[in-house]
């Protein structure tokens, strides 16, 4: 598989991951992790064609594919960061009593828990 083909396959896989992350559920996240590992494996493989044998027009096409892949990775990274921020916000809302004047979560004072032994 040539570098160009591997870039195209990686980009297609990243698009699938991006679409799947629109519905984050544990089983989907597991599948996305496996897909990302597959993309890493694709990109770590040695190229079947050597750079010396590659024509200038082919190098330009490979460069274009690499730039597209990089763009897709950046978009996915933004999507993941937004999801992480959303989850962190949910955690703050569930563990807090709103926000202070400074914009930080107002965490309620912890109350001692009663323990009963039988």
**Percentage of residues of the chain with pLDDT beyond 70:** 79
Does the pLDDT value for residue 98 go beyond 80? no
Mean pLDDT of the chain: 80
| For range 19-23, the mean pLDDT | 87
Query: Tell me, what's the pLDDT at 75?
Result: 93
Q: What confidence tens digit (pLDDT) does each residue in 41-85 have?
A: 988 877 665 555 567 778 888 899 999 999 999 999 998 888 777
Domain coordinates of the chain in residue numbers? 3-46+60-95
What is the reported pLDDT for 108? 66
HEC states along the chain?
A: CCHHHHHHHHHHHHHHHHHHCCCCCHHHHHHHHHHHHHHHHHHHCCCCCCHHHCCHHHHHHHHHHHHHHHHHHHHHHHHHHHHHHHHHHHHHHHHCCCECCCCCECCCCCCCCCCCCC
Q: Has residue 18 got a pLDDT over 90? A: yes
């Amino acid at each position: 598989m040539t570098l160009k083909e591997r870039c195209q396959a990686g980009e297609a896989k990243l698009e699938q991951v991006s679409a799947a992350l629109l519905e984050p559920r544990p089983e989907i996240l597991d599948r996305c992790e496996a897909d990302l590992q597959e993309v890493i494996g694709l990109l770590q493989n040695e190229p079947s064609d050597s750079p010396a044998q590659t024509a200038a027009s082919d190098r330009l096409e490979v460069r274009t594919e690499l730039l597209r892949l990089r763009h897709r990775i950046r978009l996915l990274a933004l999507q993941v960061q937004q999801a992480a921020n959303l989850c962190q916000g949910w955690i703050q809302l569930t563990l807090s009593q709103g926000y202070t004047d400074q914009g930080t979560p107002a965490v309620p004072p912890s109350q001692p828990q009663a323990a009963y032994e039988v």
